[in-house]
Structure 1
């Protein structure tokens, strides 16, 4: 009981010692008006306002401003390891997926670094998060072939599933991909048919939907 009286007396004297902050003042937010706060990953947490996301550091400071090119989907499929499985933006291996919608209305994917700068150009129709220093993506090469009678640009496309490193270098070709329709009405994000199972091994799904293991000689 004696200790309780002492504690009460100390608390009563705090205002007279110059400590006059209110509850609101000592709990002043570092950032407010957020619609969503994601968990921390690699020292950063994504925060959302409307359809835009930014990143805070572990002090609560907004270190990457709100932007609308970060990849996220509130209806994402958590079982997927590619673009369609990303619920909210996050960094892995210092990289976070971004997207750029080209003139065909089709999104291309790449990555930004922890400074918010583009580290890997958005040239992939689908790509997975990095596992250590590599990932798998479907690279789309666009070659301009002129304009049609309506003065719309005509492109020729080639698609290759590749292994990519964190520098954006395509370090291993896996297979050519076809039957990807590059018109907005009929376009679907193509499925990744390969995944990294170790530093040097790939699991690759064949046209018969059966898997095989391949070794990369990097």
Structure 2
């Protein structure tokens, strides 16, 4: 009986050791570590490992990256590798006729900010600015085709996904992939409580924000 218990204990130990010695193969690309996690790519999917080499976010196809990133930019166009910034990593989904909208997951792989931005800057000190895409169903026409109302705003958003400030309403954004051009962000955080707002045909305006909260 004792021998059988020893054998069973040995089997459990070997099984536990095998699980802890996780090996991840077929990796095509490894991004630099950021906030304790590094993105690893298999084909068109990315996952994340921790500093022990354990896969903590499984491979998925909605993690955003751009192999032709423009590093002279500061917005979405500059994202060459998936990275975590202030606990968030950018994801993307396609809407309408293939137009990309962007949101964020946390370090557990949970979506904390739903994809709803046409362009957005990296978070800094808990907030950032971006171009918000809003689509509202209005009904059907006489041909039973669905009609939607589209609205676009420059906004400020925090890391919880709360829109804290609405700035300028944006017009003339075509939501079909053949005519779509990613809009520049018309709001820039200059300092805590200070933001620059671009007003059409009037240039930039410096605005103080209410920072009581």
Which of 56, 69, 92 aligns to 1:76? It is: 69
Coordinate RMSD, CA, aligned: 1.9
- 2:165 matched residue in structure 1: 172
* Native 8 Å contact 2:22 2:54 kept in 1: no
5+ unaligned residues in a row in structure 2: which ranges?
1-20
CA distance in 2, matches of 1:190, 1:167: 24
* Native 8 Å contact 1:71 1:83 kept in 2: no
* Native 8 Å contact 1:196 1:203 kept in 2: yes
CA distance in 2, matches of 1:102, 1:205: 26
> What TM-score does the superposition give when structure 1 sets the normalisation length?
0.81
Is 1:161 aligned with 2:154? yes
Give the aligned length.
191
Aligned CA distance change for structure 1 residues 154 and 36 (closer, same or farther; 3 Å): same
Is 1:136 aligned with 2:129? yes
5+ unaligned residues in a row in structure 1: which ranges?
1-27
Deviation at 1:207, TM superposition (A): 2.6
Partner SS for 1:71? coil
Aligned CA distance change for structure 1 residues 79 and 148 (closer, same or farther; 3 Å): farther
> What TM-score does the superposition give when structure 2 sets the normalisation length?
0.83
- Deviation digits for residues 123-177 of structure 1 (CA, Å, limit 9, x no counterpart): 1111111012001011111111234577553211011110000111111112111
Aligned CA distance change for structure 1 residues 31 and 150 (closer, same or farther; 3 Å): farther
- 1:54 matched residue in structure 2: 47
Deviation at 1:209, TM superposition (A): 7.0
* Native 8 Å contact 1:47 1:53 kept in 2: yes
- Deviation digits for residues 166-205 of structure 1 (CA, Å, limit 9, x no counterpart): 1111111121111111122211111112211212111233
* Native 8 Å contact 2:168 2:199 kept in 1: no
